[in-house]
């Protein structure tokens, strides 16, 4: 069922309010009262959409994860460097367009599991596979995957924190090349 314009506005105002407050303090210190006052929305309206601030954040994260899945769903697993870089560039362009919110979601204030989920989806769809083929009984491939995902999260955080001083294309190439180069060491 399609949401009314008023409902979309309310949700957008609450999301903006949450991010504005998360810029100043962690989510566990944010009250529903200040979230609603900041958004100029009453508590009853808030509770008609969300159970608490964590529910609001989870719904925002789920929308972002859903976007990531949809953005790359039509592309098959591939080993083509240029197609993978192009796909990564699209992801980074989305980050640029949604940088205010993603700066918080991808920061140390955000949920690390959400961050890992995003990069796992991206890497799996880019054909950068981390299955333990040829490494029976070894955790090397799993360790490589953890290294690449966490390194990518750190690089994205650094990029966002420092004013996105590289283009989306440059970031896509850096991450792709680092991930593939790291794979050569295994």
What CATH number is associated with residue 32? 1.10.10.60
Task: Say if 97 falls within a structural domain.
Answer: yes
For residue 164, the SS3 value is coil
Going by C-alpha positions, the residue among 146, 141, 144, 127 that lies closest to residue 85 is 127
User: Does any domain span residue 25?
Assistant: yes
73 shares its domain with 152: yes
Q: Is residue 105 domain-shared with residue 172, that is, in the same domain?
A: yes
pLDDT greater than 50 at residue 56:
yes
Question: Given this model, what pLDDT does residue 116 score?
Answer: 82
Tokens of 108: 């140390």
Q: What is the 3-state secondary structure (H, E, C) of 86-116?
A: HHHHHHHHHHHHCHHHHHHHCCCCCCHHHHH
How confident is the prediction for the chain on average, in pLDDT? 82
Q: Kindly report the pTM of this predicted structure.
A: 0.72
pLDDT in tens, 3-47: 789 999 999 999 999 999 999 998 999 999 999 999 999 999 999
Residue 130 within a domain: yes
Which residue range is the domain that position 109 belongs to? 61-183
148 and 78 share one domain: yes
Residue range 40-65: mean pLDDT, rounded = 94
Q: Is 118 left (phi over 0), alpha (psi -120 to 50) or beta?
A: alpha
Q: Domain check: are 24 and 98 in the same one?
A: no
Residues 132 and 70 in one domain: yes
Q: Is residue 91 part of a domain?
A: yes
Same domain, 97 and 136: yes
Highest mean pLDDT among 27-31, 80-84, 95-99, 149-153: 27-31
Please determine, for residue 119, whether its predicted confidence score (pLDDT) is greater than 80.
Answer: no
Same domain, yes or no: 156 and 83: yes
pLDDT at 176: 86
**Residue carrying the six token digits 């105002």:** 13
Judge whether 55 lies within some domain.
no
Which range has the worst mean pLDDT, 5-9, 20-24, 72-76, 89-93? Answer: 72-76
More confident residue, 82 or 183: 82
Do 166 and 79 share a structural domain?
Answer: yes
Look at residue 56 and tell me if it is in a domain.
no
58 pLDDT above the threshold of 60? yes
46 close to 14: Cβ distance less than 8 angstroms? yes
Domain count, the chain: 2
Residues 16 and 37 occupy one common structural domain: yes
Same-domain status, 178 and 140: yes
Question: For tokens 């976007």, what's the residue?
Answer: 67
b/e map of 105-117 (b: 16 or more CB within 10 Å)?
bbeeebeeebbbb
Judge if 45 and 77 occupy the same domain: no
* Domain identity same for 122 and 100: yes
User: Among 37, 33, 28, which Cα is nearest to 57's?
Assistant: 28
CA distance 43 to 58: 19
């Amino acid at each position: 069922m399609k949401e009314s314009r008023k409902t979309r506005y309310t949700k957008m105002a609450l999301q903006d309010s949450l991010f504005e407050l998360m810029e100043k303090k962690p989510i566990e210190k944010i009250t529903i009262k200040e979230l609603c006052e900041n958004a100029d929305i009453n508590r009853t309206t808030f509770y008609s959409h969300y159970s608490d601030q964590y529910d609001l954040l989870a719904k925002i994260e789920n929308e972002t994860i859903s976007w990531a899945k949809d953005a790359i769903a039509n592309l098959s697993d591939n080993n083509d460097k240029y197609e993978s870089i192009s796909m990564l560039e699209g992801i980074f362009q989305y980050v640029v367009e949604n940088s205010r919110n993603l700066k918080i979601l991808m920061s140390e204030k955000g949920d690390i599991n959400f961050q890992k989920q995003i990069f796992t989806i991206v890497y799996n769809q880019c054909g950068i596979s981390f299955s333990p083929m040829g490494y029976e009984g070894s955790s090397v491939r799993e360790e490589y995957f953890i290294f690449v995902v966490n390194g990518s999260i750190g690089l994205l955080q650094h990029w966002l924190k420092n004013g996105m001083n590289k283009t989306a294309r440059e970031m896509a190439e850096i991450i792709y090349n680092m991930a593939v180069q790291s794979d050569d060491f295994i």
